[in-house]
Structure 1
Amino acid sequence: MAKKKTRKPSTRKGNKKKQVVDFIKQIIVTACVVIVCFIAFWIGYEFIFPQDASSIGKKLESVEKGTEKNSGYPDDLYADTETDPANTDVPVISEPETIPFSMPDEVEMPRMESDRPEEIITRESFAVSYNRTYRIPNWVAYELTAQEAGSNKSSRSNKFVPDPELDGTPDTRDYSRSGYDRGHMAPAGDMKWSHQAMKESFYTSNICPQDHYMNQGIWNDLENKCRVWAKKHKSVWVVTGPVISKKMKRIGDTGIGIPEAFFKVLMYSTGTTLEGVAFVLENRNYEDSDLKKYAMPIDEAEKLTGIDFFHQLPDAVEDKMESELHLKKWGL
């Protein structure tokens, strides 16, 4: 009887399991290689391009200050940036195209910070705060435009008369033989644009006793400068008047006070910012008529006069403009 052939057990199943294990090992090895390569690449990048922690701090600080571009704002807000020459790493936002507020009507009208008598009259050409105690103005305020400064419509009147709207303003004869000029606060040279404006400038409510050489010299130079500035900057706002004190001497039958000094405060707009300057001049002859020597920030003039100038401006704008003095902006 023939013997049956015995079959060897099949190895297909074992081979299949081995292939699966080998495939999983290959995946793990490949993943480890990728991770090692990534770590090596990152270490090499950090070595070649180290990150400056201080520069990050600067950027964060600039974002807080609003000078760094932030995705939370529209792109065009930072479209016009310029470089700060003192630090080329920090971008500086350029000035806006216009001042960020509407200029108040009659922004030139000041207010008294002391208890001083005043009667305010608004005319075609200027506003005047009249001091009945001393028979002179506390201040005169107006805007002088380039067109007005360049006009020759009306010639000089030279006819000083009492103010028809105010009782008790001086007669021109009160100045006779006093040794003082009838000094304009709002000058006739600024009023050539209107016959009425010229006439109003000769009301004695707009006049103060002024040293002759001052009136014809440095004060006249300053008045001429105001017209130059008005033409150059389209307009200037002017507040001018005497520095009033309790120890003033007097002239004439009506007892006109003789100021020890005079002030002239000016402001113009560049379209983006406001520039201001003040001048305080003693009531005397000046051999040196260099106006730059007598220019000061408006804040200083406020302390000397007791008058709050341009108070209708937003506080931040007023504070900045009145505390700074940019003589080059005024050609001084």
Structure 2
Amino acid sequence: MKKLFICSLLFFCFTIISKAQTLNEQIQTYKQEQKNLEQKLTTTKNQLDSLKLLKIIEDLNAVGLPKSDFKDEVITHSAMILTYAEEFEQARWVMHIITPDIAQTSFGRSNDFREDEKVSTGSAKQEDYFLVDTLENGKLEYDGFGYDRGHLAPSADFRWSEKALSESFLYSNMSPQKAEFNREVWAHLEDALRAYVIKNNTSLYVVTLPILSQDVQKIERGVNKVAIPKRYAKIAIDLKNSRGIAFLLPNAASTSLLTTFTTSIDEIEKLTQIDFFSNLSDELENRLESMTDGKEWIPSDEQQDVAAIDPMSLPKGYFNTNQAKYKTKSNKKVTICGTVVSTKLSSKGNIFINLDRAFPNQVFTVSIFADKVKNFPYKPEEYLKGKTICVTGKVSDYNGTPSMSVENGKSIVLYEEKEE
């Protein structure tokens, strides 16, 4: 009986071990299959990306590369085409396509700035923008020349392709930009075009141009004396929705709305003596290149925003919303004028009024606290909406936004009723 029990126990144990071995074998088999599938998926994705890149270059040529009498060298990369203006040591134009693939940000910013070996005369290089010395302690000391290496075709437009992203850091795609321009209004324009692509599920054909002329200054400390453009242009067409637009911006800080910088592609052609999208039918080209309305091209949360009042049109002692930030430390009453683009009545009964730009991009906010609302002969959040007003009081800084708290209706007058 004892032997029978031992045999049964051994058989049971053997069965368990055999089943465990079988399960382990199955697990290993499925792991290998998973690995094979992942490798196949990676290979397929790489092949797909390669085809997408080829299609981009094909499509760029199909609509027509910019034409001019300039004898610049044409350089074709994986996802962008440019002409290199040797005299100015930068591209005269860079053309690329923003596709809906930008929603798939597969790769992070590479920062692998390097010379463009395809430029036969040699492109600009790091030493054109700054110098780096290694100190005795091993640390690096940077000596900058005062300008950002500003992307013409922005790197974020290529984050779905590792190869295209890397090539966006070639110095042939760089131009000297003031930091407050490159990192603010220029970046905002780039963001706006990407947002347009995602919102409309479309592709944009984009040409970016530094405005090059003989009177531009150069970075004298750089080895190649790169020219410093005074202005930049960015033009875009959306064939799916039959829209076209151009932006012309000074190489300087700006708090103006993007719509302030809109113009027609025709005007950029006149300015640069370059013909864009020449392979399109004459009818379509003429229609797209004459458009100037920038409303559809800016983010949704900026649609209701308006430009600040021209300060030169205001009486002495009156200021626009852009000037309000300079009055936060004066501790004196001033008058700020602007258009009411948004209002909010909070659950506690407080009223907040934004002039010229709506939340969350507000540039000047008027606050009427609940206990002061009774001092107004109207409902401020309703009556003032859409009106241009002038508000008098002390300007303070509230979380970075110039703000003014008012106590009664006499502090607010309609713009047309202001004192001259």
Could you say which TM-score interval applies, normalised by the shorter chain? 0.5 to 0.7
Quote how far apart the aligned CAs of 1:123 are: 1.3
Question: In 2, distance between residues paired with 1:126 and 1:104?
Answer: 11
Which among 229, 232, 242 is matched to residue 259 of structure 1?
Answer: 229
The one of 89, 105, 116 equivalent to 1:163 is: 116
Note the C-alpha offset of 1:281: 0.6
User: Runs of 4 or more off by more than 6 Å in structure 1?
Assistant: none
Q: Secondary structure at the match of 1:247?
A: coil
Relative distance call for 1:205 and 1:255 in structure 2 (3 A) is same
CA RMSD of aligned residues (A): 1.8
Report the Cα distance in structure 2 between the residues aligned to 1:108 and 1:254, rounded to whole angstroms.
Answer: 34
Amino acid at match of 1:217: E
Equivalent residues of 1:238, 1:267 under 8 A apart: yes
Contact 1:144 1:237 in 2 (8 A): yes
TM-superposition CA deviations, 1:33-72 (whole Å, max 9, x none): xxxxxxxxxxxxxxxxxxxxxxxxxxxxxxxxxxxxxxxx
Q: Pick 1 or 2: higher relative contact order, CA cutoff 8 A, min separation 6.
A: 1
Corresponding residue number in structure 2 for 1:270: 240
Listed as ranges, the gaps of 5+ residues in structure 1 are 1-102
Structure 1 residue 104 displacement after superposition: 6.5
CA-to-aligned-CA distance 1:148-179 (integer Å, 9 cap, x gap): x2121111011210002114111112101221
Q: 1:213 to 1:108 in 2, by over 3 A?
A: farther
Larger Rg: 1
For 2:243 and 2:62, the matched residues in 1 are separated by 14
Aligned residue type for 1:238:
V
Return the alpha-carbon distance in structure 1 between the equivalents of residues 59 and 289 of structure 2.
17
Kindly report which structure 2 residues correspond to 1:29-40, keeping only aligned pairs within 5 A, or say none.
none
Give, in whole Å, the separation in 1 of the partners of 2:188 and 2:207.
16
Cα–Cα, structure 1 residues 196 and 212, in superposed 2: closer, same or farther, change >3 Å? same
Determine the structure 2 residue equivalent to 1:67. Answer: none
Identify the residue that residue 61 of structure 2 maps to in structure 1.
106
CA apart distance, 1:308: 1.1
SS of residue paired to 2:61: coil
- 1:148-227 alignment runs, 5 A limit: 149-167=102-120, 168-176=122-130, 177-227=144-194
Whether the 8 Å CA contact 2:152–2:175 is kept in 1: the answer is yes
| Most deviating of 150-159 and 218-227 | 150-159
The alignment partner of 2:119 has SS state of coil
TM-score w.r.t. the length of structure 2 is 0.51
Aligned to 1:250: 218
CA deviations 1:111-137 (Å, max 9, x no partner) are 233x32311111111111111111100
Residues 160 and 104 of structure 1, relative CA distance in 2, 3 Å threshold: closer
For residues 91-110 of structure 1, give each alpha carbon's deviation from its aligned partner in whole angstroms, at most 9, with x where no partner exists. xxxxxxxxxxxx96534543
- Secondary structure at the aligned position of 1:111 is classed as coil
**Counterparts of 1:197 and 1:248, CA distance in 2:** 30
Across the two proteins, how many residue pairs are aligned to each other? 225
Where in structure 2 are the equivalents of 1:107-146 lying within 5 Å? Answer: 107=62, 109-113=64-68, 115-146=69-100
Give distance in 1, aligned partners of 2:244 and 2:62: 13
- Counterpart code for 2:276: F
Q: Secondary structure at the match of 2:116?
A: coil
User: 1:297·1:322 contact (CA, 8 Å) conserved in 2?
Assistant: yes
What is aligned with 2:296? 329
Q: Scaled by the length of structure 1, what TM-score is found?
A: 0.64
| Equivalent residues of 1:108, 1:238 under 8 A apart | no
CA distance in 1, matches of 2:147, 2:95: 23
Kept in 1: contact 2:60–2:205 (CA 8 A) = no
1:284 is aligned to: 252
Q: What is the alpha-carbon distance in structure 2 between the residues aligned to residue 205 and residue 277 of structure 1?
A: 25
Contact 1:146 1:232 in 2 (8 A): no
* Aligned-partner residue type, residue 174 of structure 1: D
**Sequence identity, in percent?**
34
Quick one: distance in 2 between partners of 1:159 and 1:312?
35
Matches of 1:152 and 1:267, distance apart in 2:
23
Q: What is the CA–CA distance in structure 1 between the aligned matches of 2:231 and 2:96, rounded to whole Å?
A: 20
